[in-house]
Structure 1
Amino acid sequence: MTEKVKFSSTHGQNITLTNSSSTATWSPKQFSGWASSSSPLEQGQTVVVELNGSGHCELGLFKEDPEATNRTKQTFKQINEIRIHKRKCVIPVTLNERGTEVSSQFLEKTFTKSFDRNTKLWLTIIVKFGKVSAKLLLNGSPENPISFSRNHGANINLEENNYTASTIMLNPSSTCYVKEKITIGEELSFQCEPLLDGDREPSRFHVKFDVYERNPEGLKKEFKHLFDSGPVSASESPTTNLETFEKDDCKGKILVTLINERTVGYRAASSKYNEQTLRNGSDGSVWVILELYRTTVTVSKRRESGVSNNTNVVDSVVREPSNVDAENSIDPFLSHQDKTELKRQVSDYSEVTGVKTVDENTTDRRLAALEFEHTLLHEKVDKITHTLQNAVACNTLSLPSSSGKGVMTRQISAPTRICSLDDRLINVRRNFTHLIKDMHCVPLSDKLFEREIITRNEYQEITTESTPDSGNRKLLLIISKKRVMKSKMDEILDETEQKHLKDLF
């Protein structure tokens, strides 16, 4: 059964709602990324604008001193428009000898703008969206840079003694969220499509998904840039990030469901099912928050009729369409990693005691039965561990016979300690500062991504950090929120030639 739902009227300035507020579309109307030269152009002077990165910019002029007044879009006189993608671009800008005309060359074309004689003009760059850095070079010489004004847009950071201006965020003021919370067992369906540039898809587009246990209205005060063109907050957002879907993953349906008080399940039609643990336990409901970039999204809610628990809803997320990996479509409450680790523990126990384990299908059915009785993963594992400990204490273990008929009881030769799962998890906090200094995060991140312990978005966050220490810190904070087995981490450390870190985890 599908229900209509709406996006909240509280959304970013670069979001437009249509279709009775059930469709949100990215629309870059507000530009918070502008920077002007600290001094006006001189007659006969040529300044080369050097741009690096990927983005959509406008090059033009202000006729008032940027230090003396607040800038608005209406006071900006555009000369030309520039689009770049992962490259350097140089645009010479010249004020003629009489001070009456500004000319600019770009893509073998010359653009001109006329002004009254002796009008003071400050060269200005507006970044509509993108990650772009800019420099102003007198006559194109790196030895003669021109500084930027200290008054600039909220999404701009000045570096190198104000000689370099860079955007902080790719896509500010582009956040929206679903007006209604979802409760355990409910599923939101997001139909995502890229915004066409003519008849072509843009080179880059995405939808970023977060969930939040509290009302997102409260984010506007501290994280103004999410909704309006305000200063970018230095603190980390309290929301829980699911994933940033790009390109093919960002076409068609993306499904999000709240599985229990601590776990959200999600997937795109072209990718595998994933789960994420909430930063804070919810009261059984969460808000879903989106950031749009060159996309349009329509939302609806689906609740299976006659569902007494959340199993069918979760199954619909996991099993549709049929191309989802079969191993990920069984027991949706347990991740593939956790199931594998549980089975490995049972196998290790069997090797120690000499007891034959049940077949894999029987194990899966038992795990599935436990899912209905426990909402938190560690509680389920603790229960299994407790059962095994009791069996060892009694020196007996009852299991189905290999023929499938009756029950066989095997004597266990000696009591063997079975560690709880929490004892076998890595501990990041214990040696946090040492790990920041000693780790090599890039090869570790490669292996963690390869084994599906971290998501693609988390991998990108780690590997794009500016220094090794900040990359290590980001990696440690991410894996501290996950239940990573120490045995698994030891294997990865062996493979990345970082065996000396084993004792630190």
Structure 2
Amino acid sequence: MFHEVKGKNITFDKNRTTAIWSPVQTGGLLFTEKPLTISDPVTLTLQGSGAVELGITQVDPGTLRGKVPESSSQLEKYHFLNDVKIHKRTCAMCIRVDEVAREVVSSYGGGQYKQGIDLNEQYWLVADVKYGAVDLKLDNSGNNHIRHLFSELCGGNIKVLNDPTAATSQTKSPAALCFYSEPVETQKQYVLHCSPKAYHGTIPGRYYVLMRYTNQSPLEFRRHNEDKFDILNQRESLSSSKPDWFQIEKFEKDDCAGNPIIVEFTGDSFIYKTASGKRSRQNCRANTDSEVWLVFELYGISARLEIINISNRHVVGGGCTNVSLTQGGNLAVTCIREETENDINNIPSNNSENDLTGSYTASGYNIPGPVRHPDLVTQAASQIDDPVSLEKAIQKNFTTLRDSFIVDEFIDNMFENEVITRTEFQQLELVCQQDKTKATKKVLMSLSLRPVSKKFIMTALEKTKQQFLAQYFFPEEEKE
């Protein structure tokens, strides 16, 4: 299991075997130095990959010295405008005060997002970088040529540059560290089953797990590096310090989704095999006469940790043997068994975040022991160009979708685009002939339990003349 010491942006399941990336404490607040005016609209340009929420506040940022909240949700007199999720691109939006309509208007992507205001009050623009590597730039397009700047007071994960019209986020995934609960040992495999983790329905375009090691216990490491766990506790002496840790590997999208990541400790080095099949060795530079601890940084994923004792080798799952990587063998995890009709007939009727802890593979859901979700997925999440999670949207709008969603032809589109397997298709067709409501529920559960392509959903809805349902599958679109 994972150690109880963790960052504020990590949550555990009840058994502490799964660590989940949950960016709630962002430290990404950024303000304009001066309030918005009727005559001088502001153009804000974003560049990079991440998520940014825009809003306005009646709180003068100059009064927040030493008390900048961790996120916009904790800012007093704050009003939401819109949010933007970008991946390797640049976008610009114009924020202006409409005196006639008594509104602040944010124009972005062909749409306008409005917030009513009191013209007798002053309002400052707020940008809240939720996660990612994002550069922000203020431009001015008003007639008075007033130079808008960012306030020097900002969140702990934001840096205003020498040119105060520019700022950047510092850490892609702040306060997202966790540890294995015990020091590493030889003759054990440390197995990570990783799955993409959506933020407000959208899976980041890039996700990873960064694995390091240290001689410091979790308690000792946190004591020396408080800002790595809670950015509100950041101290100047710590922010510039270098932690006493060493990197094993940064497992990017293709190397952390699909099959498990396997790591072994030989006593003087770490040997690992990635989800994509790459093997490598990293010499241990820490003092191996002392305890060595594994440190994980998560970004856009959840990770379930399994420990396997290599010395207890035996045949598992009809042919997979537990052979150590140091001996050039295969992984010691259970083989994926084929789906059966009984599996499809027993699709779970509900789901929680704690259940989604396995790893997506081309054949199914790779979970040692009993298969809890045998209906998942025909495509690896890393092979989907625009993966989204519909879990929360479907749960929120379940009864509306149950009563309005016509799944007959939609099932054909799911099979054609490899969203479901042949066995699933045959079973859903049979259920659809017998009980359409039951079939609709099964399709909704199937879509909620796997990453799917946003483009596929929109196209399939259009082909089946059900575009009006897009607002229920993607409710967050109303805010973007």
TM-score w.r.t. length of structure 2: 0.60
How many residue pairs get matched?
312
Correspondence for 2:59 among 57, 64, 69: 64
Correspondence for 2:118 among 106, 116, 136: 116
Are 1:43 and 1:98, in contact at CA under 8 Å, matched by a contact in 2? no
Are 1:258 and 1:285, in contact at CA under 8 Å, matched by a contact in 2? no
Q: Tell me which amino acid in the other structure corresponds to 1:23.
A: T
Higher normalized contact order (CA 8 Å, seq sep 6+, divided by chain length): 2
Matched position secondary structure for 1:8: strand
Are 1:213 and 1:287, in contact at CA under 8 Å, matched by a contact in 2? yes
Correspondence for 2:260 among 237, 253, 268: 253
Q: Does 1:319 align with 2:329?
A: yes
Distance 1:271 1:186 in 2: 19
Matched position secondary structure for 2:222: helix
Matched position secondary structure for 1:237: coil
Higher helix share: 1
Q: Does 1:17 align with 2:24?
A: no
Q: Tell me which amino acid in the other structure corresponds to 2:217.
A: N
Are 1:206 and 1:295, in contact at CA under 8 Å, matched by a contact in 2? yes
Q: Does 1:276 align with 2:296?
A: no
1:223 — aligned with what?
Answer: 225
TM-superposed CA distance for 1:287, in Å, is 1.3
Correspondence for 1:106 among 98, 105, 108: 108
Correspondence for 2:209 among 204, 207, 210: 207
Map 1:61-140; keep pairs closer than 5 Å.
61-69=56-64, 70-72=67-69, 73-74=73-74, 75=76, 76-97=78-99, 100-139=102-141
Q: Tell me which amino acid in the other structure corresponds to 1:88.
A: T
Gaps of 5+ in 2: 314-321, 333-480
Q: Does 1:154 align with 2:161?
A: no
TM-superposed CA distance for 1:195, in Å, is 2.0
2:38 — aligned with what?
Answer: 43
1:174 — aligned with what?
Answer: 176
Distance 1:79 1:280 in 2: 48
Distance 2:188 2:8 in 1: 29
Map 1:451-490; keep pairs closer than 5 Å.
none
Are 1:96 and 1:102, in contact at CA under 8 Å, matched by a contact in 2? yes
1:183 — aligned with what?
Answer: 185
Are 2:193 and 2:305, in contact at CA under 8 Å, matched by a contact in 1? yes
Distance 2:45 2:200 in 1: 28
Cα deviations by residue, 1:258-300 (Å, 9 ceiling, x for unpaired): 101x312222132322222222222364211111111111112
2:350 — aligned with what?
Answer: none
Distance 2:38 2:310 in 1: 71
Q: Which has the larger radius of gyration?
A: 1
Distance 1:157 1:22 in 2: 35
Distance 1:200 1:270 in 2: 23
Q: Tell me which amino acid in the other structure corresponds to 1:79.
A: L
Distance 1:295 1:20 in 2: 18
Distance 1:182 1:190 in 2: 14
Distance 1:268 1:225 in 2: 30
Matched position secondary structure for 1:90: strand
Cα deviations by residue, 1:296-339 (Å, 9 ceiling, x for unpaired): 111121113469xxxx86446842159xxxxxxxxxxxxxxxxx
Cα deviations by residue, 1:226-256 (Å, 9 ceiling, x for unpaired): 2112447223221110111112211221112
Distance 2:49 2:142 in 1: 21
Distance 2:172 2:280 in 1: 25
Are 1:61 and 1:122, in contact at CA under 8 Å, matched by a contact in 2? yes
Matched position secondary structure for 1:282: coil
Matched position secondary structure for 1:9: strand
Q: Tell me which amino acid in the other structure corresponds to 1:67.
A: G
1:234 — aligned with what?
Answer: 240
